[in-house]
Structure 1
Amino acid sequence: MPTAPTDRESLPVELVDTAGNTVGSCAVSEAHRAPGAPHRAFSVLVFDNSGRLLLQQRALGKTRFPARWSNTCCGHPAPGQAVAEAAGIRLGEEMGLRVRLTEVGVYRYRAEDPRTGYVEHEWDHVLTGMLDGAAPHPDPAEVAAYRWMTPDDLRRQMQEQPHEFSPWFAGVLEVATARPLTP
């Protein structure tokens, strides 16, 4: 018998202090209510062998920054869950991909969504992976569209049309490309 879809907004997230130490937990929806509670998150950036990055356009039904272009996938580990494990599961759920992921750094940010009033205040673990030719199979409830871009072309487009992209994307891109990618 199929299970009912998970209400992602009711799932718990891990609250953190300014040094990234766990200080508690609350529901996703509560962490994102203004003024925003600092919490642990992850951003995944998947590259192909030619160095292009897989972007997703966030679904129109997303509660935060809907319809904006962003990194391959993102989410929140459950309290106490290993970040790479949570990111791998979410990459499968959102994009239908299984990729070996490596954490490459952390990007801390706070961003208010002017359309919805929600706030992202995240200690964002950045993970990268290399896709070996498999095709994405995105969940339409999560992803409106996807495309591949080189980091240089992406940076140019972000400069020209910043409001087309999630506010964290430029920062996580810089963390992800600060050192050479390894297969």
Structure 2
Amino acid sequence: MSRESQLVELVTPDGAADGSATVDAAHRAPGRLHRAFSVLLVAPDGRILLQQRAAAKTRFALRWANACCGHPGPGEPVATAAARRLSEELGVSAPPLQEVGVYLYQADDPDSGRVEFEFDHVLVGPYDGDVRADPAEVAEVEWVHPDELADRLKRFPDFYAPWLAGVLDAWRSAAA
């Protein structure tokens, strides 16, 4: 089964489950609000792992984003889906992940015409190991200090996935 034909959980603006749709249907304009997750992996020295999304991605291809993102299936625990995607995309055994907030956003991809409209659970975990990225999912990875990333996001916003700044803000707010 292709990822685009898998089901996602539609939600209300307060995060209550409200049905399901395929990944493809949820991301067609104007977009349908659905549950998602974004994982930040943090090295002992404070750097965070970024991935450049593969060229084959249907939304925001070749943009830099957090360690991994995805969608739990209807009723699937967010942490379970996040652990699966860390393994699939990066070859990483999931560390203990802590949810630090939720970020609701909507963004149109000008290249594909697809729409992200997500109730995004932000998960953070420590990581100090190898990354074996799947080239079908990830073009490149980089560890970067959060202050340097904030500067890059201001100077070159179109190089980054539109959700990344909000994910970083959720993490920073939880740490404050």
Aligned to 1:97: 92
Is 1:109–2:105 an aligned residue pair? Answer: yes
Is 1:10–2:16 an aligned residue pair? Answer: no
Is 1:178–2:173 an aligned residue pair? Answer: yes
Q: Following TM superposition, by how much is the alpha carbon of 1:177 offset from its aligned partner in structure 2, in angstroms?
A: 2.1
Rounded to whole Å, the distance in 1 between the matches of 2:88 and 2:82 is 10
Q: Report the AA paired with residue 70 of structure 1.
A: A
Is 1:127–2:123 an aligned residue pair? Answer: yes
**1:176 aligned counterpart, secondary structure:** helix
Q: Following TM superposition, by how much is the alpha carbon of 1:178 offset from its aligned partner in structure 2, in angstroms?
A: 1.9
Rounded to whole Å, the distance in 1 between the matches of 2:53 and 2:36 is 16
Aligned to 1:48: 43
**1:54 aligned counterpart, secondary structure:** strand
For structure 2, the 5+ residue unaligned runs are none
**CA deviation string 1:3-41 (max 9, x = no partner):** xxx410000000001111111001000000000000000
TM-score, with length taken from structure 2: 0.97
Q: Report the AA paired with residue 110 of structure 1.
A: Q
Q: Report the AA paired with residue 36 of structure 2.
A: A
Aligned to 2:144: 149
Rounded to whole Å, the distance in 2 between the matches of 1:74 and 1:153 is 21
Rounded to whole Å, the distance in 2 between the matches of 1:142 and 1:83 is 20
- Of residues 131, 134, 153 in structure 2, which corresponds to 1:136? 131
Q: How many residues align?
A: 175
Contact conserved, 2:101 with 2:174, CA < 8 A, in 1? Answer: no
Identity %: 52
Is 1:35–2:30 an aligned residue pair? Answer: yes
Rounded to whole Å, the distance in 1 between the matches of 2:175 and 2:17 is 30
Is 1:72–2:72 an aligned residue pair? Answer: no
Contact conserved, 2:41 with 2:126, CA < 8 A, in 1? Answer: yes
Q: Following TM superposition, by how much is the alpha carbon of 1:100 offset from its aligned partner in structure 2, in angstroms?
A: 1.5
Aligned to 1:25: 20
Q: Following TM superposition, by how much is the alpha carbon of 1:134 offset from its aligned partner in structure 2, in angstroms?
A: 1.0
**1:117 aligned counterpart, secondary structure:** coil
- RMSD of aligned Cα (Å): 1.0
Rounded to whole Å, the distance in 2 between the matches of 1:92 and 1:128 is 15
Q: Report the AA paired with residue 74 of structure 1.
A: C
Rounded to whole Å, the distance in 1 between the matches of 2:18 and 2:119 is 13
TM-score, with length taken from structure 1: 0.94
**CA deviation string 1:101-146 (max 9, x = no partner):** 1111100000000000000000000000001x21100110000000
